[in-house]
Chains A and B, each alone.
Chain A
C-alpha cells in the first residue's frame, strides 16, 4: 500500500461526457502528479501540483484540467470525452517539489473507459 488513494478505480462513460478523478496523496506529501497510461504506452506526464500551486505541465489536453485543494487532495477533470481518452490515469505523490531524484508513490490508478 503506497498510501496514495485514487477514486474511482473504474469508470465507464460515453463520449462527450465529463468526469472527475480524485487523488489523496500520502500523508505529508506536498506534490501531486497526474500520469496517463494509454494502451501499450508508457506513463505520460500530465500535470504536477505542489502545495496547491501548479508547478509543471506536460502533454495535458485543453479539455483536461486539474487542481489541488488546501487539504492537498487533487482532482483531475476530463471533459468532452473522446474514445481516445480511454486510459489508466495514475496519481502519484512525493514530499519534495521535484520528481527526478526522489521516488514517486503511485496510487492504483483509475481506469477510464469511454464508449
Chain B
C-alpha cells in the first residue's frame, strides 16, 4: 500500500521556468514531510522539509507547499536550472521523529537548456 504517491513519473521544463513537483499522501497521521533529490549513481540527498504546522517553507529557489486538507504537497523550483535535473522523492513520517520515512516513487525532472 503506497501511502505516499507521486503520480507523475517525469516532468520536463525549460530552463528559467518554474518546476512544480506534486505529491499526495493517504495517511492523515503524517506530520512531517521531506523532499530528497537523487542524481544517477548517487544516493538521495535531503533538499527541503516542512512540518504539518506550516503550509509553506522556502529555501532559496526551492519552496514546499503543504495542503493538509487535500493531503497534498508540492515542490516549486524557481527558476529551474539544468543542474536541477534529477529524480525527486517525496517522503513523510508519522510522527515527526519516527524511525521510518515513507517514500514516494519519485519524479524525474529534466530541465532543458
A: which residues have CB within 8 A of B?
2, 4, 33, 35, 40-45, 48, 55-56, 58, 90, 92, 96-109
Contacts and interface: CB of A to CB of B under 8 A. Distances in A.
Contacts of A107: 43
A48 B43 contact: no
* Interface residue range, chain B: 20 to 34
A58 B96 contact: no
Main secondary structure of the interface of B (DSSP, over half): loop
Interface stretch (B57-65, B66-74, B97-105): B97-105
A71 B50 CA distance: 33
Contact of B101 (A96, A99, A105): A99
A2 B97 contact: no
A43 B99 contact: no
> Which 4 A-B residue pairs are closest in the complex by CB-CB distance?
A106-B43, A100-B93, A103-B46, A56-B99
Given A90-B43, A99-B93, A40 B100 contact: no
B41 A100 contact: no
Interface of B: 2, 4, 6, 9, 32, 34, 36, 41-46, 49, 51, 89, 91, 93-106
Contact of B105 (A4, A42, A100): A42
Contact of A101 (B41, B42, B49): B49
B100 A48 contact: yes
A4 B2 CA distance: 27
